[in-house]
Amino acid sequence: MSETHESGDGPAETELGRLLRLMAALRDPVRGCAWDVAQTPATIVPYTIEEAYEVADAVARGDLADLRDELGDLLLQVVFHARMAEEQGAFAFDAVARAIGDKLVRRHPHVFAPDGTLLPEGSALRDPAQVEAQWAAIKAQERAARGEAQTAPDPLGGVARALPALTRAEKISRRAAGYGFDWGNAAQVIDKVREETDEVAEALAAGDKRAVADEIGDLLFSVANLARHAGIDPEAALRDGTAKFERRFAAMAAHLAAAGGELGRSDLAAMEAAWQAVKRDEARGRA
């Protein structure tokens, strides 16, 4: 049940209602906050993206208290964008909530009747892959109904360009796979990764910087495909890999310090020895 409380000048309001009221007050050109009033959708977008990443980070760390706070920050971004759109006479927050609610009903015909009530017999689709295929088919029908089939013939169109590069690569490759253009299994993708690695080496040997960049792009795209075949989110995998490197690097510095060494003053051999010691410590910890 949604919490309510006294607004101070009227009947009890929901927490969401309070948030919408506070956002409207912050945007008031006379009594509001100068910073909030000065913002536009374009200036707020970087914060929206940042907050989404911070939600992902809280989930990855399993920190539920932080997740609560980060979800609040992300919700604020939605409310902020909706408020600016309302000021322009485009739409308000209620329209945003109604649109996503309607979409959930429309794209889950195995769960909801057209009026949004639950189907009495329960879901006919139990396989998540079947549900995903149905979702994609309904989405394609919606695009066709809006006339996008005529105005945007690109079969791989519709994947947001603002997505992180690895995430977008995975989505583009998944879209292509939907047309049957795909490798048969992960082992075949590994062969492609090896091929692209060889081509990077050739470009490096030739000293052609543009070709090196091109081939590294092909290599990363192949790795994104490999992650998809393995059922791994490439963005999350890279995030975890980077976090592992950070953790090991800090531990390596501690090893060097314990031996009387120091980062920046130790040679590569000493750092590599400390790095391997960190890996052995981790292995013993997992044993």
Tens-digit pLDDT profile for residues 239-271: 889 999 999 999 999 999 998 989 889 999 999
Residue 286: predicted pLDDT:
81
The backbone torsions φ and ψ at residue 11, rounded to the nearest 5 degrees and listed phi first, read -70, 170
CA distances from 48 to 53, 81, 107, 216, 223 (A): 9, 9, 26, 29, 28
For 253: left if phi > 0, alpha if psi spans -120 to 50, otherwise beta; the answer is alpha
Residue 159: predicted pLDDT:
84
Tokens standing for residue 260 = 């009387």
**Token pair 């314990």 in the structure block, residue:** 258
Tens-digit pLDDT profile for residues 70-98: 999 999 999 999 999 999 999 999 999 99
Taking the C-alpha atoms of residue 191 and residue 195, their distance in angstroms, rounded to an integer, is: 6
- In the chain, the percentage of residues whose pLDDT exceeds 90 is 64
Residue 182: predicted pLDDT:
93
Residue, of 203 and 113, whose pLDDT is higher: 203
User: What is the arithmetic mean of pLDDT over 151-171?
Assistant: 81
Pairing of strands 12-14, 4-6: antiparallel
Q: Degrees (nearest 5) of the Cα angle 122, 114, 106? A: 90
Task: Tell the CATH superfamily of the 154-232 domain.
Answer: MazG-like (1.10.287.1080)
Q: How confident is the model at residue 1 (pLDDT cuts 50, 70, 90)?
A: very low
Residue spans of the domains in the chain: they are 4-106, 154-232, 236-286
Q: Which of 220, 235, 239 is nearest to 61 (CA)?
A: 239
Q: What is the DSSP letter of 119?
A: P
Q: Do domains 4-106 and 154-232 have the same CATH topology?
A: yes
Taking the C-alpha atoms of residue 184 and residue 191, their distance in angstroms, rounded to an integer, is: 12
CATH of 4-106, one of 1.10.3720.10, 1.10.3080.10, 3.30.360.10, 1.10.287.1080: 1.10.287.1080
- In the chain, the percentage of residues whose pLDDT exceeds 70 is 93
Tens-digit pLDDT profile for residues 107-133: 998 889 899 988 887 667 778 888 888
Residue 226, class by beta-carbon neighbours within 10 Å (0-12 exposed, 13-18 middle, 19+ buried)?
A: buried
Taking the C-alpha atoms of residue 166 and residue 235, their distance in angstroms, rounded to an integer, is: 6
Is residue 5's pLDDT more than 60? Answer: no
Residue 13: predicted pLDDT:
87
User: What is the arithmetic mean of pLDDT over 180-206?
Assistant: 95
Q: Degrees (nearest 5) of the Cα angle 8, 36, 24? A: 35
- Residues 6 or more apart whose Cβ sits within 8 Å of residue 138: 106, 107, 109
Q: How confident is the model at residue 11 (pLDDT cuts 50, 70, 90)?
A: low
Average pLDDT for the chain = 89
Contact at 8 Å (CB) between 26 and 36?
Answer: yes
